[in-house]
Amino acid sequence: MRTEPALAIVAVALAATIAPRSARADAPGPWLAVVDLEASVVGESYGGRGELLWRIGRPGTASHLRAAAGILPGPELTFVPLSLGYRALWRSDRTVQPFAGAGWESQHFLISDAPTVHRWVAVYAEAGCGFAIHPRVSLGVATSVDVALVGGVGPGLQLRSFASWRF
Amino acid sequence: MRTPGWLAILALALVLMPGAPVQAHAPGLLDASEPFVLDDPTISRALYGTIEQGDEVFVVRARLATRLALPFEVLVPHRDELRDHRPAYAVIAAGLPPVDPAEAARLPRPLPAGAGAIVDWNDRGDRDVVFESFLRRVYWSSGTVALIVPAGDVELWVWSPDRTTGDVVLSFGVEEGGVDYLEVLRHWSIYAY
């Protein structure tokens, strides 16, 4: 199998990631607000999540810090995750905007007629892709997996669609 | 700015971490049309079934080499529509106490000849609520009861005395084995929802 085409693709992808972007007077700011509709596959629940991301550094940088909070009611429990993490969002000035990230999550499972189960240390990883419909607005889909490190073993899996606005 | 290498390492760890062995009750599926036979009664089990008509009786069979003290409980998903669903279970074996006639009349079928039984009617007013962390499910529990089961042939019966319908989980045993991920994935909708 020839490796040159694969290496060329990787080289182009890396160059697109690190190449400087020209600044525009009307360039969007460093903040990204995101609203998600989400389904939790493990621990059936459905709801929404709000996210706020802050770009680290100059325009064109992929790195963002992320804070998020959600509430997902289900037939047996209500899942309330609070997250802090990192997201790499590439090609933010292009139509197709893939991203990946990871971080820490504090998980609350609210149960009627029983004490809330709180798992205060979990780690998550996420990946998704947005599609720009406006210079500042994107729609997309994402998935995330998480695993609690304290308070009970068990992986989680969420699927979500989102709308984001950069300002 | 290039993506930090630690991000890739963390993502890889998250992918690999579920492959680490997890000790838990081994799952299985109950079928009212045939008994569930335990190969190794020392391994703790969580057996899932659905009472659809109200008159089903799930039967589990095992042969104990020695007398064992085993914990038993019956679980019902913590959902509003199952609030009144209280399946009972009976442990049946020779050497267990005889059942009085009033209680025997409430059993779903006659006991085998020579067998006694211990019955948990799951009629306690306040049921415990338990959170199962692996699949993130919540259940009402009949309460864990430790019973000394004699050596020999043992049967477990699970049924709904009030003929209510709904899901039920029979949980028993002490020695936790590894989770059979393939079994869980193969019947995901039964175990997870």
Residue contact A76–B77, C-beta within 8 A? yes
* Closest approach of B170 to chain A, Cα-based (Å): 19
Half-sphere exposure of A56 (CA within 13 A, CB side): 13
Distance CA A20, CA A9 (A): 19
pLDDT digits (tens, 9 = 90+) for A25-40: 456 789 999 999 999 9
The label of the residue with tokens 């193969």 reads B186
Average pLDDT over residues B100-105: 93
Q: How confident is the model at residue B14 (pLDDT cuts 50, 70, 90)?
A: very low
Q: How confident is the model at residue A153 (pLDDT cuts 50, 70, 90)?
A: confident
Judged against a pLDDT cut of 70, whether residue B173 lies above it is answered with yes
Residues in B whose CB is inside 8 Å of some CB of A read: 1-4, 7, 10-11, 14-15, 17-18, 22, 77-80, 129, 131, 133-138, 192-193
Q: How confident is the model at residue A119 (pLDDT cuts 50, 70, 90)?
A: confident
Residue contact B133–A154, C-beta within 8 A? yes
| A/B interface, count of CB pairs below 8 Å | 89
At B176 the pLDDT is 66
Backbone angles phi, psi at A95, to 5 degrees: -75, -45
* Closest approach of B192 to chain A, Cα-based (Å): 7
Judged against a pLDDT cut of 50, whether residue B2 lies above it is answered with no
Q: How confident is the model at residue B127 (pLDDT cuts 50, 70, 90)?
A: very high
Residue contact A76–B7, C-beta within 8 A? no
Distance CA B107, CA B81 (A): 25
At A27 the pLDDT is 64
Average pLDDT over residues B129-139: 91
- Residue B163: which region, alpha, beta or left (left: phi > 0; alpha: psi -120 to 50)? left
Residue contact B11–A76, C-beta within 8 A? no
Residues of B in contact with A119 (CB under 8 A): 133
pTM: 0.81
Residues of B in contact with A61 (CB under 8 A): 1
Average pLDDT over residues B152-158: 96
Q: How confident is the model at residue B1 (pLDDT cuts 50, 70, 90)?
A: very low
At B11 the pLDDT is 44
At B191 the pLDDT is 82
* Closest approach of A100 to chain B, Cα-based (Å): 9
At B7 the pLDDT is 43
pLDDT digits (tens, 9 = 90+) for A81-115: 999 999 999 999 999 999 999 999 999 999 998 88
**SS3 of residue B123 by DSSP:** coil
Q: Cα dist. B141→A53, A110, B36, B78, B130 in Å?
A: 42, 18, 22, 9, 7
CA nearest to A148, candidates B177, B23, B14: B14
Residue contact A109–B136, C-beta within 8 A? yes
